[in-house]
């Protein structure tokens, strides 16, 4: 079985720009979650998608948005980037949110 | 909303020493509990999980954890650590019911094992 793959692995953006991060879920998984992991901290939940609909959101502003596609791959979009958005962004997939989550290696975003 | 507290931010041990990492959670309902490990430069990997049943859970690489419901704790243990166990360890919790079972993580414990 394939794991969770994320692209790109590293990205540098300028404050105010927009960014799109991508995630391919593990085969058979229909739920995808996105997390932000700042340096020295645990991952923080951004939002979750189940069958192409958002079904949970953490304490992140609306400029963080997402999509899940029919093949269960997913995107995280961040508008109007701020310096504090610099972090490792993790994607995790699961089967209905049950049984544990499989994480990708993440995208390291640096905002300058 | 749930929360997770990991008391030890950095633990330094010599090889063959025993390990116990503390984890306490706060949530009003029943939960599923997880320990993840993040080796340097690698992705989060599941060490073990507790959903129900025997509160003593055995995971990969010789790790185990005990769920003590009365203490809201899920401490991670290993009898004898190895240099290769050097990594960051995260405790996490999700509600055991409901549609949005997002993981809530603790802040992590950095384990350094000296050869």
Query: In this structure, what token pair is assigned to residue A20?
Result: 């799109």
Cβ-defined contact of A103 to B43 (cutoff 8 Å)? yes
β-strand A107-111 against A10-13: which pairing, if any? Answer: parallel
Smallest CA–CA separation between A86 and chain B, in Å? 17
pLDDT value for A97: 66
Cβ-defined contact of A43 to B107 (cutoff 8 Å)? no
Whether residue A6 has pLDDT greater than 60: yes
Interface contacts (A, B; CB < 8 Å): 58
- Alpha carbon distance B90, B66 (integer Å): 15
Query: In this structure, what token pair is assigned to residue B88?
Result: 């960051």
pLDDT value for B100: 64
Whether residue B7 has pLDDT greater than 90: no
Which of A23, A32, A54, A101 is the best mutation test for B, with the most CBs of B within 10 A?
A101
pLDDT value for B30: 87
Cβ–Cβ contacts within 10 Å for residue A37, how many? 20
pLDDT value for B99: 64
Cβ-defined contact of A42 to B108 (cutoff 8 Å)? yes
Residue with tokens 């025993």, as numbered in its chain: B18
Query: In this structure, what token pair is assigned to residue A30?
Result: 């229909």
- Contact yes or no for A47/A36 (Cβ under 8 A): no
Whether residue B115 has pLDDT greater than 70: yes
| Residue pLDDT, tens place only, B34-73 | 999 999 888 899 999 999 999 999 999 999 999 999 999 9
Confidence of residue A79 (pLDDT cuts 50, 70, 90): very high
Nearest CA to A93 out of A34, A50, A31 is that of A31
Averaged pLDDT of chain A = 92
The DSSP 8-state label assigned to residue A69 in this structure reads -
Looking at the complex, does the CB of residue A39 fall below 8 Å from at least one CB of chain B? no
Cβ-defined contact of B101 to A97 (cutoff 8 Å)? yes
């Amino acid at each position: 079985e394939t794991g969770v793959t994320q692209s790109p692995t590293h990205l540098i953006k300028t404050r105010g720009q927009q960014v799109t991060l991508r995630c391919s879920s593990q085969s058979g998984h229909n739920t995808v979650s996105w997390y932000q992991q700042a340096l020295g901290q645990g991952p923080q939940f951004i939002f979750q998608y189940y069958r192409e609909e958002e079904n949970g959101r953490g304490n992140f502003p609306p400029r963080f948005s997402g999509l899940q596609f029919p093949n269960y791959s997913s995107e995280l979009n961040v508008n109007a980037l701020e310096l504090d958005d610099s972090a490792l962004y993790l994607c995790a997939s699961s089967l209905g949110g049950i049984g544990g989550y499989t994480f990708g290696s993440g995208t390291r975003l640096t905002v300058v | 909303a749930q929360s997770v507290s990991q008391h030890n931010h950095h633990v330094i041990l010599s090889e063959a020493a025993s390990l116990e990492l503390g984890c306490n959670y706060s949530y009003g309902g029943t939960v599923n509990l997880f320990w993840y490990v993040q080796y340097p430069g690698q992705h989060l990997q599941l060490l073990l999980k507790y959903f129900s049943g025997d509160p003593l859970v055995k995971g990969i690489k010789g790790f185990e954890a005990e769920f003590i419901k009365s203490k809201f704790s899920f401490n991670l243990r290993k009898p004898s650590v190895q240099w290769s166990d050097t990594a960051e360890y995260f405790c996490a919790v999700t509600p055991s019911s409901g549609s949005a079972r997002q993981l809530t993580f603790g802040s992590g414990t950095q384990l350094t094992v000296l050869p």
